[in-house]
Structure 1
């Protein structure tokens, strides 16, 4: 087991955010966290990334407790967070540069794979939203960490671009099979991308249910139009709807 969060509790002041959270991610697995706004999904990432520590429970990576340790995961935030004064390729190698070993040849190869070879000397202002997200993902991928944490990376994109980026992400992931923990508000996105989905309750968040996605890989966009996809989407919608109504 690559990542294991075991009975995690976390509060900020008098506000309890997480209660008895237990999740895991296997090697090469794509896992989604799905929950209402404010349910603590990003807090879970902060705990895994060492930006915060749990009040109770343990977080382990490769069977080693990692509380408060930074630099052990690849991370892609909601916004691309590219440095505007650095070129595309300079942004891509940033995480490698911090460890002292930037590999421009490998970065160039990846930019070519994702259709951005001609933009490697461009600056972020010259890129579309989807292009920026691709750059941010390749930067996380080249960090060489075994676990990638993706925090709603496509939430700011329009619907058409979002679907294209989901398909692109799956194609890249199929090639590398790095372990991914993916936060999203989108039920469709979670089902289309993930092997398993954890449903979070309202705050203080706990795990309401763990859903195994039954669809084979590789996945095509046509899956979105099947009765099986719609039925699973409706099931998850009702779970989240109950949480939102309870919280109102």
Structure 2
């Protein structure tokens, strides 16, 4: 699926990534956590073809995708919905730019996530959680082989964030699309992912990899288990060792 091979990236004298390697397999949910400023968002820019790497390789299904845009589905921290477009028009905008909009498929997806009565609404008429659902469905209908989600729930209140995590899992467990998920929340990574990659401070490489041991489908009760608490503390310790500004939630 996605293979990141010994990549490096710098901006002038600032080295952001160095010898970074990992893989995301077909149908896998992989989370990335790391100190603030360690280059997580830069990594997504490189995978999405927005910026070029200095060395290494980025392969998707064994094909080189360096500086190739439109090869992945992307969901940013903010929904980035166009205020003058309706929900349906926002969902289909990526396909529209590629001259192959499929409004019927978009309507089906919006119905699946409980937004069928809002297809003609505008973003300001939606709650924060609803806007994030629209942003996610926009990435889904683009039908790319992997979704890159960049801290998509960080701006939400705690209750809505927990609700959105459960919602995302329910969608992912049904369709098993490969997901690469950046988060600052240790608990979010543990609850959602199959594997967690811990980055070092800048210039970032992989410090540790953790296999999440919880069975699927995931239940809310695992958050209160002794295993969950122990793994959460272990991940926090790894991040403290990097002396970064991290969350311990």
Length-normalised TM-score, structure 2 = 0.97
User: Is 2:28–2:194's contact at 8 Å kept on the other side of the alignment?
Assistant: yes
Superposed, 1:200-215 pairs within 5 Å as 200-215=199-214
Distance 1:162 1:245, change over 3 A: closer
Deviation of residue 245 (structure 1)? Answer: 6.1
Instruction: Extract unaligned runs of 5+ from structure 1.
Output: none
Q: Distance in 2 between matches of 1:225 and 1:193?
A: 15
Superposed, 1:164-179 pairs within 5 Å as 164-179=163-178
Deviation of residue 66 (structure 1)? Answer: 1.1
User: Is 2:36–2:244's contact at 8 Å kept on the other side of the alignment?
Assistant: no
Length-normalised TM-score, structure 1 = 0.97
Partner of 1:82: 81
Q: Distance in 2 between matches of 1:98 and 1:27?
A: 27
Partner of 1:95: 94
Superposed, 1:1-248 pairs within 5 Å as 2-244=1-243
Q: Distance in 1 between matches of 2:243 and 2:156?
A: 24
- Structure 1 residue ranges (4+ consecutive) displaced by more than 3 angstroms after TM superposition: none
| Deviation string, structure 1 residues 171-223 (Cα, Å, up to 9, x no partner) | 01111111000000000000111001110011111110011111110001111
Number of residue pairs the alignment of both structures matches: 246
Deviation of residue 103 (structure 1)? Answer: 1.4
| Deviation string, structure 1 residues 48-79 (Cα, Å, up to 9, x no partner) | 00011111111101101111110000000000
Deviation of residue 30 (structure 1)? Answer: 0.3
**Coordinate RMSD, CA, aligned:** 1.2
Q: Distance in 1 between matches of 2:214 and 2:197?
A: 16
Report SS of the residue matched to 1:244: coil
